[in-house]
Every structure is written in structure tokens, then in C-alpha cells.
Chain A
Amino acid sequence: MNKLKYLLSLVTQPRTISSSSPKEQLLNCLTYGLFTIVALCAGFLLWDLSSSQRDGFFYGKKDSHTLVLDLSHSQEVILHSDADQRKRNGNCTFWDCLNIYKCEHDRLKVYIYPLQEFVDDKTDKVATTLSSEYFQILEAVLKSRYYTSNPNEACLFLPSLDLLSQNVFDKHLAGAALASLDFWERGDNHIIFNMLPGSAPAYNSVLDVNTDNAIIFGGGFDTWTYRPGFDVAIPVWSPRVGHQHPHAAAQRKFVLVVAQLNVLPRFLRTLRDLSSAHAEQLLLLGPCNGMDLSTRCSFSQHHKLMEYPRLLSHGKFCFVGRSLRLGQPDLVEIMSESCIPVIAIDNYVLPFEDVIDWSLASVRIREFELHSIMQKLKAISNVKIVEMQKQVQWLYSKYFKDLKTVTLTALEVLESRIFPLRARSSRQWNAIATNPRATFNPLFLPSLAPKSQGFTAVILTYDRVESLFLLIQKLAVVPSLQSILVIWNNQKKSPPHLSTFPSISKPLKIRQTKENKLSNRFYPYPEIETEAILTIDDDIIMLTTDELDFGYEVWREFPDHIVGFPSRIHVWDNVTMRWHYESEWTNQISMVLTGAAFHHKYWSHMYTYAMPGDIKDWVDEHMNCEDIAMNFLVANITNNPPIKVTPRKKFKCPECTNTEMLSADLNHMRERSACIDRFSKIYGRMPLRTVEFRADPVLFRDNFPDKLKRYNDIGSL
């Protein structure tokens, strides 16, 4: 305010100085004063007006849309506790309690009610107080892609009423508060977060509030109260969880650590018996003096204080047992220490059970066989333990790390029900990303490719018409050839007219490209109607009919591999510390050049649209390495090596070699080595695998009449 006046005075000063008399100045001062008073009055009047209006008037106007979570200005709502409430509808399913018509937008939208304080009209008791965790949940939703400020376009409604712990609120009042919400309408499409349900003495496993049709994100469901496909089971959050320790694979000398303080007495007795029998393997801890939750003491030596949850990293497995409430914060604490949870609660619905495959990351034990827990755990192999530890670590970092992740995961579970099309598959939810070599082969149909279909030969050509025609003639007689597609890459010349092409009995198509790119050879042209593509250079005229036919037969057996004739190998050069491309004859191969190779059309699609990094552009720019790129692509996705067929090794005419070519060759080899190096950096690993075998026909080189051999025209070199 003062600043403003100062600014104004600066502007006006030169004039006032020049023209004012003392009398006039006084008058002016008076007028200023008057105006100020008027303005002040107006201001206060306005404020008075606004304060009686609905929530955050000032607020709302400041930015009329986004909700601001300001604790000091939650608005008060008076509740009439005798208002109508409806019990939780136990028969709710996704199909009848969720109003799907509100969710017809392209994505899940969540509206958050503004912070309100619900006060009972009679007792002046407040319904709930906001906890730090719930504030974080609200904040997470608010900042997420799900949030909408417009209740009319919202699919889900999130009350700002904190119902996380039933310990602290009056359930009747909470029900009244819910029913008083603006868009409640029997609770359709409302989501309610709750972590500690039930209260003494019954400890129900679901919130006792009258939630009607609302969806409950609950932390302690059992299979009786959980409404499958409707509710979402979430973990009970623990404020003690810090950031995951970098040395998570710490020394874990105990097989099992029991540090849960509230295991039911009858199970605790069993565990005590077990711990005396397996003192070296089972660490059973109890509370130290007082209610300090960050320490544990062993039952035998009371003085030995251990820091919790840090101590959980001493165990391979950590115990979660039945307590009065099924959901315990211990689960998250255990996971944060990369300990494998052992869950001995019979009908507990584990967090995100719909999507997370807990069998990969936990051990479940029935309560009645708790006494045999040690035998069970000891029978688990070390390999499995390491796998599970990695999975726990991964799950934790992905879905449990903090309240924000938990909230967003819960919403995503719900989103995948409402928009099943975009839902992740269980493979994607549980994919172990810890192993960089783990892959998913997109060609997993477990049957042979059909013989009848044949293959399409895709010939990339520039201007070697003579050689091209020869090749077409040779290919045309291969029985399994379905059609030929000529990719004419020469931009200066148009391809010769179709009539000048050799007349063949198979369909022949010519495709003039728009740019001279090597990638054109791998474009998934709609003209290719077969699964198998034979990519072939226009100068590969030495392959016989039998070789091609046999190559196709081998491809049918391995449709997800690259199957071809010219093979190469990559080797690690210890001197330069780089990968090196090798075309010498070696005992191993790791690449099959696409100058003459079969592959599935799917790989062409992947090459064109889904190749990582800038490999494709790089290849086109340098006019080299497209074959190496294809080998990398397939090997990276499938972990499969290519398959070399038949012994033929020479694919260049002998007279082509001369001294000029030799130096060009050297340069060529250097460039291709650089390609391998570059691609392996882009993939972050070397996906190529070496193999020591090739495929030959069954009776190849056998002392057997040639007439009876199916493939007898197999070249030797």
C-alpha cells in the first residue's frame, strides 16, 4: 500500500511542485485523507461481506479454480447429527455402485472437496482433525494428473474429511459429515481413504462409518469385507519409513526377524517357542520400556537396544502376523528395508492385491501352521530369496515409497477398472525391472509359422538393373516365394517400366521411394502380405533355390529370430576397449546380415516405429549399419541370437576385389565397429548373443543318394 502511494507520488510530484500553493496543498491533503477513509471503509465492508459467504471466498477469487490446501482457513460446517445416514453397502460392485456416466471422459478425473471443518450442532464436537498423512494424500491427488477443480466433470470425489484412523474420530459424526457433502448422493463415485479401520473391541476390518456406496481405499481389509473389483486395498502407511538404505543387501544373518509389537498372544507364544528352538535364526524382539516405537529389545537381553526399522535389514524374512487389526504399518517398514515379508494372516487382503503378484515378493503362511514357519523358510532356495528381495525392493520403490506413490497407485488401480483399455497387464505391473536382460518376446505364439504362406522377397536396389533382373529370375523359381517387392531407392532415375522386368509367375511390385534411405528396406509396406520377409541385396545372386527354400523352413521353426546367410561376429577389443566388428570366419556368430536374411514383418514395424534412440536417423544419415541395427533390435527384445543357415560364406563376386576396394573396405569395417559401439551405448548393454552352430539340412553331406535328399543344391562356400 505504502509502496503504491510512494509510486504515485513520484509520478505526480513534478507537477505539484510547480503549481501548488500552501492552501491548496492543505486542501489536497484533506481530500486525500477523505478518500483514504472512504476506501478503507469500502474495503472493510467488502471483507465483512465476504467472510459470511461460503468457503474461501477470497481464496476462490484469487484463482477461481484450483483448490488450495490452506490449513488455517478451512470453513466450518455445522452438522445435524440426526440427519439421514445409510450404512455401507456390502453388495456394491463396480457395475452398480459406480456411476460410470460421470466417467465418460478420456481420463480419470478426481474432484477434491475444499477443506472443511465439520462441527456437530449440539455438542460442538469436530468430526475429524486433519492428519499429516491425509494432507499428503490430498496434496498428491491435487498435484496429480487426476485432479479436476470442476465437480461437474469429475468422475471421482475425494472428501477432504480425514478418515484414516478410526481411533480418532466419532464414527457417527463422520457419517453425518459425509452425508452432508455437496455431491454425496448415496456416496456414488466417492473415494474414502482409511488405514486403521474398526475400533475396540470388535476391530472390524472395514471402516465403521456409514459410507453407503462409496469406494473404500482401505488398509485392513479381510476377504469378508473387501468388495472385489470395487474397493482398493492399500498399505497402512508408516511415518517411520525413511528413505531406502543404499546398502539394502546388508548382512542378513537371521532367517526371520519378528519385530511386530502387537502380534496376538497366541501367535506370540508359538513364536517364542520357535525362537528358543532356533535362537540363531529367529530374532524375536519386543518393546523396550515405554512406548518408544523406534527401538526394539530382545526378550532375553533387555538392555540390548536396536533401532527400528533399521534392524529389519538383519533378516532375510520379516514377520507380519495377525493383530487386532489386519493391516499393520509393519508391512511397509519391512519392505523399506528390503526384507521379504512373511504374512501369517489368513484372510488379509494384501495391498493392491488386484494388480500386484505377491507370490513373487512375499511368503504367505496359514495361521494354523505357524509352528512350521522355520522349516518352510529354510526350504526356500537362495536364488529365490535373491529374486524376492529384488522384487520387494522394486515393488517398494514403485508403489510404496511414499504416500504420494501409494495414493497414485491406488488411483491407478481404480483407473484401470474404469478404463480397462488402458490398464496395465499383470506383467507390466510386476515386471522385474531389476534385471536389464529381462525381456518380453512379442512373438510368442507357440506354433510353427504356416508353410503355405510363403515369404515376400524385398529387394532394395539403386541402379544395378542387370543384377536385379537376374536376382528376380532366380527368386521367382523358389517354391516358397509368395511375391517380390522391389524397393527402388534411386531418386534420380525412375525404375524401369514393369514390362521390361523379367516375366515371372509370381506377383512382382515396384515401389519408388521418396528418399534414398537404407531404412526403406525395413518399412512395413502394406504390399507385404506374408509374415516372413526375405530382405535381399540386389547383388546376392549366388543363393540357390534350395538354400532359400531351406532358409525359409528354418525361419518357420524360429519365426522370432533373424534367419539368414551372411554371418558376422562382434568381439571385444581389449586394447581399444571397444567393440569390434569382425567378418573373418570364426567359430561363433552373433549377427546375420540382412543382405540375405528372413525376418518376421513385425520386426520391420519395430524397426520403423520403435527403435530406441536416434539409431534410425543415424543409419539413414551414414548410409550404413542398417543390418547391425536390425540385429541389435531383435536381440534386445528377444535375447535370441540369429540363426545362420547353410555353409555358404562368400557373398561377393571374386572379381570385384581390387586394391581400391580394399581401402574402402577398411574404412567400412571401422565404421561398422563404431556402429556396434554406438548402438550398445544406446541400448545400455550389449544385446547380441553369440552362437556356435548353424542350421544345415538333415541329410546334408551324408553319404546318401542326392536324389533322395530334399535339399541337395547347397553351396559349400
Chain B
Amino acid sequence: MQAKKRYILVFVSCAFLAYAYFGGYRLKVSPLRPRRAQHESAKDGGVQPPYEQLPSFLDQADPLGPLGHLNGSAGALGALGHNDSRRSRGSECRMETCFDFTRCYEQFLVYVYPPEPLNSLGAASPTSATTRRYSLPYRSRATTPAIPRPPASLCSAWTPWTGTPSPRTMCAMSRPGWPACRTGTTAGITSSSICIRAPGRTMRKIRSASMLGHAILAKASMSVLQVRHGFDVSIPLFHKQFPLRAGATGSVQSNNFPANKKYLLAFKGKRYVHGIGSETRNSLFHLHNGRDMVLVTTCRHGKSWRELQDNRCDEDNREYDRYDYETLLQNSTFCLVPRGRRLGSFRFLEALQAGCIPVLLSNAWVLPFESKIDWKQAAIWADERLLLQVPDIVRSISAERIFALRQQTQVLWERYFGSIEKIVFTTFEIIRERLPDYPVRSSLVWNSSPGALLTLPTFADSSRFMPFMLNSMGAEPRHNYTAVIYVQIGAAMGPNAALYKLVKTITKSQFVDRILVLWAAERPLPLKKRWPPTYHIPLHVVALGGNTRIGAGAGPTGQTTEERPSISQRFVPYDEIQTDAVLSLDEDAILNTDELDFAYTVWRDFPERIVGYPARAHFWDDSKNAWGYTSKWTNYYSIVLTGAAFYHRYYNYWWAMWYIIKLHPTNFCLILHQLP
């Protein structure tokens, strides 16, 4: 045999071997178990995707699953009993197991326990700080639509929980009044005196002692494990000096793009050489570079740090003293918010206010109001386990993102965190949204200006009916307006009376939907025939103050109202007002039809503002040390009088809600600057 042929033979055998090696599995006859038969048969189909032949997870056993044989079967009901038994765990609470909804059907009222002296157990007598904290709940009762009533008729009870850093406060909480707040909210308004030293363990101790009972806990620095899903509310940690009401505005004044701050990431704070405290803070010096990353720590705290200091302390303290905290806050793009002794830290709110984007370094911390606020739009997460990645994370964020994040810090600060009042009200609103009769606001409403506290969801179920988000929804306010004329003087009603002229003028407007006359004058109402013809436009006359009412034009008459006419009634959301735009007029307003129509078209571009004619201004009066009001001609204005102005119907509703709680400002205004 020739050598060449031998080579060929070898080659052939190699080829065969290779074939056997790679493709030989086709020859394999697998010893299939019977249960695989279905898979095998599937292969014959060929064209179909392989899963077509597999059984569905739903019909593998019983087509209806546990459902089919359910109607009335004993097993099913028995199963339910089992479910219920799980709920009886007292320490664990959910709204449906621990909250008494029946108290909340009509109104959302909050009863505030009277301040009790706490010193029965040797706790310090109420200092100025604690009284301050007590005074808040009283205000909150005044501003939530609430009238003092006996506790039995109130929805939830709210106990201010003033802790001092001694474990004794635990007992203070379980004082006799404690069980009374079974359905209540416990807002652990914790300033620097907070009774939870080690988050986690101590907290569970409370639960096991069922000290909390069925109360909703609103507390700072909660961890994922502590918080009862959909029940407790996490609130931010704030200082003793935190403002009660109004509060400081966010300190971001300019909205430069890109921001160009001096530092990229900053932190200045303690690290803990003794006691419980974040380990992470001890490693922060690794990230410090003194240029754009300034992370300085000090060991100085408490009394005994000298004895316990480690060899880095001196160097750290030196660096620490080189930087000023306020300056860092203002000049840094990002601020590190590492956990301290507890999960939350004061830095969070401070950074938020300063518009320094928080970089969270506190694993398992439940952020304040996490269920409603989308913190992804305002903060950056880092993981304590991956500390050294922080610089990379921070550097990788685009300028656009920083731009958006920084603005959002300000929105959130303004809306929910500016004062204790805002924090408390936000807590209540979150709880309120869980109630059956209260509509839930969307995440969009919660996370954009003007925020949930100023959006009354009972007004309308869609944001389309509100003035605030139309632009971002790509929607426009609904067409036409309702003219509301408030008649107070009721001068002699000749045929040429100003009121009749005004009605005529309005009738000619192309955008008017209907006219509503609010008759608050002493004089009796003019007869129906005296009114000028309004043709197809309905004219309603509502007599305020018990006069008889007369309807004219096409529409029906309005309603009788209480006895004493009050100027506030001009802003009552009457049912007749169906349009988004309300034109509020005094009886003696002198305007022509073109002016009305023009103002209306301008209003459509600014539905959230008051658009009108009579402009006034406010100024700071140095001599009286108070704000002054002026009707002089000025180069600026801040008030548009409602004698002739368009505004959104929503403000009427808003007015009515505040009216209930007996607020009587003399004028309803919204600040407007130089508009034509």
C-alpha cells in the first residue's frame, strides 16, 4: 500500500473520530425514564419552540390550583383560620390588623395628649426643648382640620415621645397613658435626645415587651428590619434648633449648569474610637485627598477619647480643623452621609438643605418617608461594604444628573423637611393615604413641586383638574371661565348700574361659561327682569345672608347660605363653578370685554397663578419693623387683587379647606412678579 493512501486512511479515521467526538451524541440512545417521554415526543414537533410541549405550571396538577374545589369547602375555610392566627402576633402590625379604621370615616382628626410631667421616673423635668416639642402638636391640631373634641371621637391619638438618652425612657413610654394610643401614631420626634442607642437590638427589645403595642411608630433612623412594612413611618433626624413652622428655605439660590463647585465630595464629622458607631467612618481617610474629596474626621467626642485614641487621631484632628463645615456644605457637589452611632444622621437634612447631594453610606437605613418619596431623584447610594468605590461612583455621575439631583434636593426640602410642622404633616398625610376614604396621590405628585401637602387629593382624582402639573402632562386647563361677581355695596340699582354693565360686558366675552353673582349686600335682590339679558349664558344669583334668591337667565338659582355674609364666601367652591378658570370680580370693576378675554388667554399660560388687573405691592417697613401694603404705583407688584382676576378653581377649594379651620386673611393672594 502506498504511503499516500495510508495518510489518507489515517486522515479518514481521524475524521471519523472527530465526527464521533463532536457529533456522536446523535447516536446515543438514552435510557430515558418514562417521565421524560413527554420531552422526547416534543422533539418530534421540530418547528415549535421547545416550551410548547411542556406543561404549564398552572395546569400541572389541578387546573384551578387550589381554587376549583373551593366553593364552601371546609378545607378552604380552615385555611383562612390559619391565616388569621398569623395576624395575632402582637408585635407585628399592619394597617389592617392594628389600626382602627372606624374612627377615621368622617374626618381625620388627631388628638394630642396633654403634656404630662415625666419626672415620676426621675427623668428631667421638661426643659425648654421639651416644651417646644410639646407645643407643636397643639399647633398641628389647629391646622389639621380639627376641632377639640373628646378623645373618643378622634381618629388617632398622637403622643409626643420625648426621649432622653437614658434607657429609662422606655418605661416613660409605657406610662399609664400608653395603652390608650392603640390606634395612634407615635411620632418619635427625636432631636438629639433619642432613646435608641443601638438601632436594631434595642428596638426589638421594645417590641418584645410590646411596649409599642399597636401604635404606629414614626421614628428616625429606622432600619429595614425594624420598620413594619406599610405601618411605621421613618422620619428624618433633626436638631433641637429645628424650626417649628415655616422654616428656612433651601440654600440653593442659583441653578448653574454645570455647578462647578470647589469640592466634589465632602464630609466632616466624628469617628468613634469607643462605643457603638460606624466602622466605616474609621476608613474614610482613605478617600480623603485634600483636593476635590474632603473627608475629615475627628476623634474628639465625649470625655474619654484621649485614653482611647488610636494613632491616626492626631493627624485626623489636624486635617479636621482645616475645614469649616458650613463652607464644605456650600461648596461641595456631593456630601457623604455615613451612619454614625445610629443609622440616620443630622447630615442628611443639612446636606439636603444645602443642595449638596447626599451620598448615603448607611446600610439598611430606611430613608425618611421612603414609601412616598423617590429618593433616587435626590440622593446617591453607596454601600458600606464597598467603601472604596465611592470616589468612582461619584465621579461617574453626569453633569445633567447632578443638575437634576440638586434641584430635587431643594424641592424635597421645601416641601417636606423645612420645618417640624412639615415633617409631622407629611407623616400624617402618609398615614392618611392609607385610609379607605382618602385618595392616594401618585408618586409624581409626591415628588414634584408643589408636593403632596399642597395637593388636596379630595379636590379631584386626576391631576388634570389641578393647576400644577398641566405642563408636564402636556395638558391644558379646560376651556372657558366662570365669572363670579361679589356684590357687597349694592348701590342704587338704576338701569345703568355698574353691576348691570359688568354683566353685559361679561356676556359679550367669547370665553365665558356662566356668571355667578354673590349677593352680600343689605339691599334686597333686584327682580329677575331687571337683570340684563345673558342669552345662552346661565346667570346664577346666590344670596348670601339669608335674602331670598332669584335666578335669572337660563340657569337655576343658587343656594341660600348662612346668616352673616362674610367676605370669605366669595371664594367658596360653589357647585356652579364648573370651569377650571374662575374670574373673580367686584361689582364695580370697570373692564371691557377685550380685557377680560386677554386676561383669560394669559391665564391659560399660567394656570397656577393669579392673573388679573389691580396690582398691589408689599414692602418691608423699616420704621414699623413690619410688612407694609401699598396701593401706590410702584415699579413692581406682588399682589393681584381679586377684584378683577382669574385664578384656578382649585384655589377656591383650598380656600374652603382653610376656611373650615377659621382662618380669615383679608385677601387671597399669590405672589406674582412683573407680568404685563
Contacts and interface: CB of A to CB of B under 8 A. Distances in A.
B275 interface: no
Interface in B565-595: none
A695 B674 contact: yes
B78 interface: yes
A100 B1 contact: no
B442 A131 contact: no
A496 interface: no
Contact of B473 (A438, A695, A699, A704): A438
Nearest to A363: B440
B16 A27 contact: no
Interface string B456-478: 00001110110000011111000
Interface string B56-82: 111111111111101110011111101
A71 B39 contact: yes
A174 to B, nearest CB: 14
A293 B64 contact: yes
B67 A323 contact: yes
Contacts of B70: 262, 264-265, 323-324
B311 to A, nearest CB: 29
A168 to B, nearest CB: 4
Contacts, number: 382
Contact of A698 (B411, B436, B443, B635): B635
Contacts of A325: 65-66
Contacts of B462: 381, 383-384, 387
B225 A91 contact: yes
B674 to A, nearest CB: 6
Contacts of B461: 380-381, 383-384
Interface residues of B, number: 135
Interface stretch (B6-14, B141-149, B165-173, B657-665): B6-14
Contacts of A201: 75, 78-79, 82
Interface string B1-38: 10011101111110111011110110110101001100
Interface string B115-141: 000000000000000000000000000
Contact of A421 (B56, B95, B393, B675): B393
Interface string A339-360: 0000000110000000001011
B20 A46 contact: yes
Interface stretch (B277-285, B299-307, B373-381, B512-520): B373-381
Contact of A46 (B21, B64, B257, B381): B21
Contact of B50 (A135, A229, A323, A384): A135
B464 A383 contact: yes
A513 interface: no
Interface in B355-405: 363-364, 374, 376-377, 380-381, 383, 385-386, 389, 393, 396-397, 399-400, 403-404
B86 interface: yes
A202 interface: yes
| Contact size range, A | 35 or more
A35 B443 contact: no
Interface in A429-454: 430, 435-450, 453
Nearest to A42: B17
A298 interface: no
A72 B40 contact: yes
A134 interface: yes
Contact of B22 (A62, A229, A530, A693): A62
A692 B57 contact: no
Nearest to B392: A421
Interface stretch (B189-197, B248-256, B483-491): B248-256
A695 B675 CA distance: 6
B211 interface: no
Contacts of B525: none
B55 interface: yes
A47 B27 contact: yes
Query: Max chain B CB contacts within 10 Å: which of A324, A357, A531, A692?
Result: A324
A164 interface: yes
A601 B256 contact: yes
Interface in A207-234: 223-224, 226, 228-229
A511 interface: no
Given A293-B64, A384-B461, A446-B414, A437 B381 contact: no
Interface stretch (B261-269, B547-555, B597-605, B643-651): B597-605
Nearest to B386: A100
Nearest to B228: A223
Contacts of B633: 699, 702, 704, 708
B254 A453 contact: yes
Contacts of A162: 57
A131 B255 contact: no
5 interchain residue pairs of minimum CB distance: A437-B474, A43-B20, A262-B67, A132-B54, A420-B381
Given A31-B9, A239-B58, A359-B442, 17 more contacts: A31-B6, A43-B21, A46-B24, A71-B50, A101-B386, A168-B57, A201-B78, A202-B82, A265-B76, A365-B436, A426-B377, A426-B447, A427-B374, A444-B448, A448-B673, A449-B254, A449-B255
27 contacts: A27-B1, A32-B9, A39-B13, A71-B54, A95-B224, A95-B364, A104-B386, A126-B35, A131-B54, A131-B57, A167-B62, A224-B94, A237-B57, A265-B70, A324-B79, A359-B442, A365-B436, A369-B436, A384-B462, A425-B374, A425-B376, A427-B374, A441-B472, A445-B252, A445-B407, A529-B260, A697-B635
